[in-house]
Structure 1
Amino acid sequence: MTGFAYHVTGDRAAPVPVDRALGGDDGGLVWIHLETTDGQAQRWLRETAALSDYVVDALTATETRPRCEAVGQGAFVNLRGRSREELDTSDLLASVRIWAVKGQVFSVTRKPLIAVGAVEEAVKAGTIRDPGDLITSFATAITQDLDPDVANLGDELDACEEQLDATQIFALRRTVSRVRSTAIGYKRFLSPQRAALEKLASLPGDWLDDDDRLHLAGAADRAARMAEELDAIRERAALLHEWLSDLRAEQIDSRSLIIAIVAMVFLPLTFITGLYGMNVEGLPYAKAPWAFDAILGGCAVIAAGIVIYFVQRHWFER
């Protein structure tokens, strides 16, 4: 079982061993963070930390979505943020599960969450003094980390629109598909995360101060804005994908037209050469010394006539 713990008193935070973090209520804050959900962590949370089975199951569940629930005098919160590890394309954001009561906060992650480092730095700096500050710091760090990534998705689409060219269709389609997939993966969690933060901000309890509720509401608004931006990115990606598909179809039509024109030019020529290539008697002028030059000239005239016809019909301009 890996993790760390801090004991916060006033504006001072001291790191302590996880096994010794639990103690008496001295008016401070104990933050215990576990980086695993294995059986050992479950036993420690259930037996040593004396948490209820419901809370332990929620903290160590395999599949989670952003949510907030009031349980007794505390609250369970599940949030999603970016991880340092590359995750599966169907689950692009890692989870942090938080159980908070007055004076204590337990957080559990299965994958290394980028926001954990920012929260730990805030604890060391002395800006976090109670559970409300800690959860608010998590919500703020997650949204601040996601915001530039969402903006980059929009910038990538802008670049694709500027580079829209028939010679780069395949590369652009790969980029557009990746951006759209990422936007869908983020949107899947940001909408319920906004609802979770809004619910947390409205929970009763003296362990959440008024400024904590304001910051949580601000984080919820930011999550809502990112969700709306992701909707716009997804729609733009779908429209750009349609443009690329149309451009590819036009490219195929253009090439098919060229092939058809070439076939039309050589079709009569192939007939003539095939006819005079038969090894039979009775072909007109077969013994004449000028026959080859005449047939060659006739083929050239026929080819030129077909090309002139297509030019007059404006086929080459389509």
Structure 2
Amino acid sequence: MSEPTDDTETHTPLLFGRVLDGQGGARPIAWEEAQNWQPAAPGEVLWVHLCRNRPGVQQWLENELHVPEPTAELLTSDQTRPRAFVEGETLVGTLRGINFNPGAEPEDMISMQLWCDGNRLVTLRRHPLQTPREIVAMLDRGIGPPDAGATITLLAELLITRMSQAIVDMNQVLDDLEDDDPDEHAEEMLKRISTIRRNCLGLKRHMAPQHEALEQISRDAPYWFEDHDRREIAESIARLRRYLDDIDISKESAVVLQDELRARSLASSEHATYMLTIVAGIFLPLSFLTGLLGINVGGMPGMDDPDAFWGVVALCGFLFIALIVVFRRLRWL
């Protein structure tokens, strides 16, 4: 079966729906059937992926799933800081993933809310997110997660895995910048490094609370979240912690490279200023001498001597050579 596409009918919030059969497969389900769904066989789990900003989502959560109003508001709001908590026998959480939509930057992360009671899993998003599509494609091929806990675990794992690609890309850019010629592309390199630093800060800002949210799930998830799911979440937490360390390393590498480029640029400017100062120091006495001999007053020596000009030229040459010798002995040159 081909990968499903988003529901383009704006009157329904359903993007896709599946009923997991407990064996890694699933069957599609329409919004009308999903609203009042009840398991027809042991092990069946309903998973609906909704667009949270379409009409009727909050009302359905409150009326059909009996979600408390504050929780329903949280699931449909734009308060997207990663978090997770348990409410009775249900798990509520907000996770974030890398935005791979055209024109987006890595730090422009997309939030996904989830609600699950073990039999029904509801995920909600506002902007397109690729991770749920990957999992539903696996279910359609019969190799997907068997239950709600495994689905949540796989969602978290794939969200984190996609983060690693953004970190690898940033490190590759840093490696390329280190091999580039700073004398030719210094300004462009500084701009790219500044972008990488902003990306690192954005990823760190969102990934750190996601680390806490996953720990909350691993520690406090309800009984239907099985032990192997907790172990998988623990592995995802460890991987996320490594990625946070990698982000810190990338940020520090960007700072070091940026400082080096700025130091080289400053040294080049200082060298140019120094050379101009040396040139001014050499020609200032010569300018004074020629200015003194160029005043238009009576009594200037050599005014009637045709060889006086060459005498002044020789005097300036001698003074020039003398200044060069003095500057070299002072180690200014």
TM-score, normalising length: structure 1: 0.90
Any idea what SS the aligned residue of 1:233 has?
A: helix
Distance 1:294 1:199, change over 3 A: same
- The equivalent of 1:14 in structure 2 is 27
1:113-136 deviations in Å (ceiling 9; x for gaps):
232222222222332221111111
Aligned to 1:101: 117
Q: What is the CA–CA distance in structure 1 between the aligned matches of 2:64 and 2:71, rounded to whole Å?
A: 14
Q: Which residue of 2 aligns with 1:65?
A: 81
- CA distance 1:298–1:47, change in 2 (3 Å): farther
Matched, 1:77 2:77: no
The reply to whether residue 302 of structure 1 matches residue 314 of structure 2 is no
1:135 equivalenced with 2:152 (yes/no): yes
The change in CA–CA distance for 1:207 and 1:293 in structure 2 (over 3 A counts) is: same
- Deviating more after overlay: 184-193 vs 303-312: 303-312
**In 2, Cα distance between equivalents of 1:43 and 1:297:** 99
Distance 1:101 1:264, change over 3 A: same
Q: What's the % identity of the aligned pairs? A: 25
CA contact 1:96–1:109 (8 Å) conserved in 2 = yes
1:115 and 2:115 equivalent? no
Is the counterpart of residue 24 in structure 1 residue 38 in structure 2?
Answer: yes
SS in 1 for 2:108: coil
Counterpart CA distance in 1 for 2:73 and 2:197 is 34
Task: Tell me, in whole angstroms, the C-alpha distance in 1 between the residues paired with 2:76 and 2:283.
Answer: 73
SS of structure 2 residue aligned to 1:289: coil
Q: Would the alpha carbon gap of residues 288 and 223 (structure 1) be closer, same or farther in structure 2, given more than 3 Å must change?
A: same
In structure 1, distance between residues paired with 2:64 and 2:273: 74
Query: Residues 26 and 140 of structure 2 are in contact (CA less than 8 Å); yes or no, is this contact kept in structure 1?
Result: yes
Distance in 2 between residues matched to 1:217 and 1:174, nearest whole Å: 38
Alpha-carbon distance between aligned partners in 1 of 2:47 and 2:255, rounded to the nearest angstrom:
44
Sort the Cα spacing of 1:292 and 1:35 in 2 relative to 1 into closer, same or farther, 3 A: farther
Unaligned 5+ segments in structure 1 are none
Q: Which amino acid aligns with 2:309?
A: F
C-alpha separation in 1, matches of 2:84 and 2:91: 7
| CA separation of 1:19 and 1:259: change in aligned 2, threshold 3 A | farther
- The offset of 1:44, in angstroms, is 4.1
Query: Quick check: 2:22–2:147 contact (8 Å CA) kept in 1?
Result: no
Shift of 1:39: 4.6
CA distance in 1, matches of 2:31, 2:146: 19
Residues 296-317 of structure 1: per-residue CA shift (max 9 Å, x gap): 232222223222333333334x
Q: Secondary structure at the match of 1:202?
A: helix
User: Would you say the 8 A contact 1:7–1:21 is kept in 2?
Assistant: no
CA contact (8 A) 2:99 2:105 kept: no
For 2:238, the equivalent position in structure 1 comes to 221
Q: Are the counterparts in 1 of residues 46 and 119 from structure 2 also a CA contact under 8 Å?
A: yes
TM-score (norm 2): 0.86
Q: Does 1:258 align with 2:275?
A: yes
Shift of 1:145: 1.0
1:217 to partner: Cα distance: 0.9
Spell out, residue by residue over 1:77-107, the C-alpha distance to the aligned partner (whole angstroms, 9 max, x if none).
1111111334478x52111111111111111
Aligned residues: 315
Q: 2: distance between equivalents of 1:112 and 1:55?
A: 23
* Aligned: 1:5 with 2:17: yes
User: Separation in 1 of the partners of 2:153 and 2:301?
Assistant: 97
Aligned counterpart, 1:157: 174
Distance change >3 Å, CA 273–CA 146, structure 1 → 2: same
Would you say 1:175 and 2:189 are equivalent positions? Answer: no
8 Å CA contact 2:197–2:254 kept in 1: the answer is: yes
Alignment of 1:185-196 (within 5 A): 185-196=202-213
Classify 1:141/1:278 alpha carbon distance in 2 versus 1 (closer, same or farther; 3 Å): same
Distance 1:270 1:19 in 2: 94
The residue that corresponds to 2:7 in the other structure is none
The question of whether the paired residues in 2 share the 8 Å contact of 1:136 and 1:212 is answered with yes
CA-CA distance at 1:179 after TM superposition:
1.5
Contact preservation (8 Å) 2:82, 2:93: yes
| Equivalences for residues 223-262 of structure 1 within 5 A | 223-262=240-279
Q: Give me the CA root mean square deviation.
A: 2.2
| Cα offset, 1:47, TM superposition | 4.3
